[in-house]
A and B are shown apart, each in its own frame.
Chain A
Amino acid sequence: MFQLTRRTMIQAALTAPMVAAGRAFAGSPFRFGLTPVLLDSDIALLAQMQLYLQEALGMAVDLVKRRTYQEITALLLSGELDAAWICGFPFVQHWDRFALVVVPLYHQQPLYQSYLIVPHDRDVATWQDLRGDIHAFSDPDSNSGHLVTWALLAEAGETPSAFFRETIYTYGHRNVVRAVASGLAQSGSVDGYVWDVISHRDPDLASRTRVLRRSELLGFPPVACLTMNQAAPRVQALSAALQATPQSENGRKLLEMLELDGFAVEDRSLFDGIAAKYELVKARGA
């Protein structure tokens, strides 16, 4: 599946900052924030992303990763990041301050789903059967890993704390799958794109869970920036670079690793669905 070996990637990741600090790139590096919306802890993926972005942007790139969405959102809001790959939920939470740079294309669409997953051998048919569970969410600021289920319950007049016996946050979609697969949680809310990728790359883990419910299609976690920086050359360069991903060798490798088809400029209305859910839960005071 991968053209580059893991070792090559790691070497690239380790040498990149040194190169950036040296003769190769002048000026301050591009600071690109990543949330655990991606496959966390995949050093090879990070290395390939950095390799591609530096090559495409012609400047040093710092990939900034934090444990929670909130931390990255805060960094982006404070201007410490040039852009970040965030989730749709923080995007709609800060609708007025964030602007879209590009949205990834999954199955040729800028859309994805949220999955409700349960252990593979659990005999339940509908989400209503999950009452009283210990439920694993990904992150309080995750759309697929929290908001979608939250909204689902809100529509039914429920709240997570009342519907579930206990809820835990695992701060990573992969961790949600691990929690459900291990039995720590009896059900979980997970990014459908991440679960699909895990089912290809780590079928042993994914096969210990099954999808109980798939949500409607929603806007894929976007790459965003502060609205005031939207026209900045660095941000425009990033937009162009990401849109051009399928056109270079390293870009294709990156897409292959991400199991994405590319990046496209989309309208903000793509996230109306998520915004509506946010409005719903806010209205219910959940």
Chain B
Amino acid sequence: MMRRIRALASRIPLTIQVPLMVVALTILVAVVISQVVLQRLAKEQSTALASLSSAFMDGLMTAVTPGLLTRDAWETFDALDRAREQYEAVHAVFNVVLLPNGEVLAASDPNRFPIGSDLPVDLKAHVIDVDGLTVDEAQGRAWLTRSVVQEGFKIGTVFSEMDISGLLAVRREVLLTLLLVNGGVTLLFGAGGYILVRRMVTPLAVIREALGHAAEGRLEPIGAQAIDAASREHAGLYKQFNAMINAQSEREAMAIELAKQEQLAMLGRLASSMAHEVNNPLGGLMNAVDTLEAHGEDPAVRSRIIDLLRRGLRGIQQVVRATLVTYKSEHHTRQLTNADLQDLRFMIQHDTGAKNLHLDWLNELPETLALDASPVRQIVLNLLLNACQASPVGGAVTLRARVSSNTVRISVADQGPGLPPAALEAISAGSSADTAPDASRVAPGLGLWTAARLAGRLGGQLTGAAAPHGGALMELSIPVMSNQGGLRAVA
């Protein structure tokens, strides 16, 4: 039960919760105070009524006793009638003097209580044996009975009815006043609480809005106007938030700059390897040209040389084409093809050749896939280059590419020393959405951070682990649209 209440309460905004609590507390206090006041008032009224009616009755008894002693109806009536002015004080409705046998000797209202008559039955019930007061709040009436005793003998009874509706009206008025005042105070407190809490939580709303913008990629500090308008504490909060936003912006800018530098470095390495790839066959080709010039008339030699030239030039052509495909500016996304992955072999040919690495290559991708080709190629090229760099001379670099469960899975393994912690951190940082890398720690693995980030943008992820036979195993998995014909064909 309490949990439910708490759960329910947690859903209600603070601006409503606090005023509701204030209102509830105020109502509680008001109810308690009202009860105390009304009870006290009722007690006071009861005491005052008893005291006043007793004093009234004392006077009345003194006045009617002579008439009662002689059973003189006129004298008794005259006494009751002359006391009429005092009736106002106790709101007496009537006074009846009864003989010991219950017969009316005289009454203030003789038409209602004729001489010699009996009291009506409904009133007889209120004539009590013991002197005192009986009250019927529903009727708004009180009845006072007092025995008149002379020398130890009861010579009669004075019976009075009093209208206490005035007292009850006072109670009602007090209750109404309490309700109005307490209601007003409750409303005032509730409204005050609402305004106060609303003012107090205003910074939360401002910061929430700013955080919302940040989540959308817009790191915007809180404006100076809002800071100036806020209280000292809130202004401090805003300034700290702005400091955090500024630091974040700086880190992001630095990361972007570092990524650019990395890209340039990679480009340099690529350019270098490409020049190497082009230059290597060039020596052989020049020799072939020289051979052709010297022995070109021999058809067999010519044919062999031309074949050699063709293969050499084709190799150069492949390297150049692969580079062009990878780095040419593409304004529109292009679907990934099996050949896009195959091309990468040529782009790392220099690195594999330099270290005499064995390339274990199994590309099982379908002809086309509903994936943007450029980022996939960049990621895989980065992984391959890293693998070549990490692998020892004569080692093996393994690539596996396939589609399973509507997901493209490409893994690159090497036989190097394994992934350093910095590289894992870079992958983790790149995988976290919109998290700027800690430039100082991620910088060595900035290529991996970029690769992980690209994978994330494609809706996939990049993971790094230790390979079964030592070295690092990088795995890229990217989901593809299920309605792609190519994928269905493979699956």
Contacts and interface: CB of A to CB of B under 8 A. Distances in A.
A169 interface: yes
Interface residues of A, number: 15
B96 to A, nearest CB: 12
B115 A134 contact: yes
A183 interface: yes
Given A178-B81, A182-B81, A136 B115 contact: no
A185 B110 CA distance: 8
A246 B239 CA distance: 111
A182 B110 CA distance: 7
A204 interface: no
A183 B110 contact: yes
A184 B110 contact: yes
Contacts of A170: 74, 78
Contacts of B109: 183
Between B73, B74, B77, B78, the greatest number of chain A beta carbons within 10 A of the residue's beta carbon is seen for B74
A171 B67 CA distance: 13
Interface string A183-218: 111000000000000000000000000000000000
A168 interface: yes
Interface string B107-126: 00111001110000000000
A183 B106 CA distance: 11
A166 B110 CA distance: 14
A42 to B, nearest CB: 16
Between A171, A183, A185, the greatest number of chain B beta carbons within 10 A of the residue's beta carbon is seen for A183
B115 A166 contact: yes
Interface in B106-153: 106, 109-111, 114-116
Contacts of A184: 73-74, 77, 106, 110, 115
A179 interface: yes
A183 B81 CA distance: 12
A175 B109 CA distance: 16
Interface string B69-87: 0001110011001000000
Given A166-B116, A182-B81, A184-B106, A175 B111 contact: no
Interface in B14-48: none
Contacts of B106: 184
Contacts of B115: 134, 166, 168, 184
Contacts of A179: 74, 77
Contacts of B110: 182-185
Nearest to B112: A183
Contacts of A183: 109-111, 114
Contacts of B116: 134, 165-166
B74 A182 contact: no
A163 B116 CA distance: 17
Interface string B86-115: 000000000000000000001001110011
B60 to A, nearest CB: 17
A168 B81 contact: no
Contacts of B78: 170, 175, 178
Contacts of A166: 73, 115-116
A168 B73 contact: yes
A141 to B, nearest CB: 16
A151 B106 CA distance: 28
Nearest to A169: B74
Given A182-B81, A184-B106, A175 B114 contact: no
Contacts of B81: 178, 182
Nearest to B73: A168
A168 B74 contact: yes
A180 to B, nearest CB: 10
A169 B72 CA distance: 8
A165 B115 CA distance: 10
Nearest to B111: A183
30 contacts: A134-B73, A134-B115, A136-B74, A165-B116, A166-B115, A166-B116, A168-B72, A168-B73, A168-B74, A168-B115, A169-B74, A170-B74, A170-B78, A171-B74, A175-B74, A175-B78, A178-B78, A178-B81, A179-B74, A179-B77, A182-B77, A182-B81, A182-B111, A183-B109, A183-B110, A183-B111, A183-B114, A184-B74, A184-B77, A184-B106
Given A165-B116, A166-B116, A182-B81, 6 more contacts: A168-B72, A168-B115, A171-B74, A175-B78, A184-B73, A184-B77
What are the 7 A-B residue pairs with the smallest beta carbon separation, nearest first?
Answer: A183-B111, A184-B110, A183-B110, A170-B74, A168-B74, A168-B73, A184-B77
